[in-house]
A and B are shown apart, each in its own frame.
Chain A
Amino acid sequence: GENVEQHPSTLSVQEGDSAVIKCTYSDSASNYFPWYKQELGKRPQLIIDIRSNVGEKKDQRIAVTLNKTAKHFSLHITETQPEDSAVYFCAASEGSTLGRLYFGRGTQLTVWP
């Protein structure tokens, strides 16, 4: 099955700096790559996703890039703010009807004011 690795496990940045979280996957059939943000005590929520026919996608301060050849994708957060502090999960999925997402282990991002 698919194996998703996520790095780093913890990341601390100063407010206003950029943060980058990287994930690799093993199954070349994977074609959908979402990112979830989980604030303390809350449920994970989708913040951005990318499909394999696209190399980059942006939404305001967040962007995701995908390199299918190297089988890796990354989350970029610019101009970080304290409210960006959370655990971020990457995931990968192939297109079967089973619909399973394979998650990375998560990155605890802390943004210091």
Chain B
Amino acid sequence: DVKVTQSSRYLVKRTGEKVFLECVQDMDHENMFWYRQDPGLGLRLIYFSYDVKMKEKGDIPEGYSVSREKKERFSLILESASTNQTSMYLCATRNLPPDTQYFGPGTRLTVL
């Protein structure tokens, strides 16, 4: 049974703070993804990684960075949080295509 976990379900931060969101998977999957989900805008891809230390920009990478030092862990970093980054953040993992993609439970981030 695939397990994808995220470090927090809810997070409240102040504008300008550095924020770390962590995702951990236990299935030895190659590919990991970070999305943000906002009402009416669906799932928008921020960054993804297909191997350790490898990363690719998604559709909305501005204001974010990522780190993948170990295969099982993929971190999303907000260098200086802003109010427009208030959102639901979903991590996902997937083995080599065309395998199923699995989502984590999500982190609801509020930036005040």
**B90 located at the interface, meaning its Cβ lies under 8 Å from any Cβ of chain A in the complex:** yes
**Complex Cα–Cα for A46 and B2 (A):** 13
**Are the C-beta atoms of B97 and A93 separated by less than 8 Å?**
yes
A68-104 CB contacts (< 8 Å) to partner B = 89, 93-101, 103-104
Interface 1/0s, chain A 31-74, versus B by CB < 8 A?
Answer: 11010100000111110010100000000000000000000000
A1-46 CB contacts (< 8 Å) to partner B = 9, 31-32, 34, 36, 42-46
**Contact of B98 (CB < 8 Å), options: A9, A42, A95, A104:** A95
**Contact of A98 (CB < 8 Å), options: B43, B56, B105:** B56
Query: What is the CB-to-nearest-CB distance from A36 to chain B, in angstroms, rounded to a whole number?
Result: 8
Interface centre among B33, B58, B98, by most chain A C-beta atoms within 10 angstroms, is B98
**Are the C-beta atoms of B100 and A49 separated by less than 8 Å?**
yes
| Interface majority SS (helix, strand, loop, mixed), chain A | loop
**B95 / chain A contacts, CB cutoff of 8 Å:** 99
Q: How large is the interface on B (under 10, 10 to 19, 20 to 34, 35 or more residues)?
A: 20 to 34
**Complex Cα–Cα for A97 and B41 (A):** 26
Query: What is the CB-to-nearest-CB distance from B51 to chain A, in angstroms, rounded to a whole number?
Result: 9
**Contact of A43 (CB < 8 Å), options: B31, B45, B58, B105:** B105
**Are the C-beta atoms of A43 and B106 separated by less than 8 Å?**
yes
Query: What is the CB-to-nearest-CB distance from A33 to chain B, in angstroms, rounded to a whole number?
Result: 9
**Are the C-beta atoms of B42 and A99 separated by less than 8 Å?**
no
**B56 / chain A contacts, CB cutoff of 8 Å:** 98, 100
**Are the C-beta atoms of A99 and B97 separated by less than 8 Å?**
yes
Taking CB as reference atom, which chain A residue is nearest B33? Answer: A100
**Are the C-beta atoms of A43 and B100 separated by less than 8 Å?**
no
Question: What are the 9 tightest A-B residue pairs by CB atom distance, in nearest-first order?
Answer: A105-B42, A99-B31, A32-B98, A43-B103, A103-B43, A106-B42, A99-B97, A95-B97, A44-B103
Seen from chain A, the residues whose Cβ lies within 8 Å of a Cβ on chain B are: 9, 31-32, 34, 36, 42-46, 49, 51, 89, 93-101, 103-106
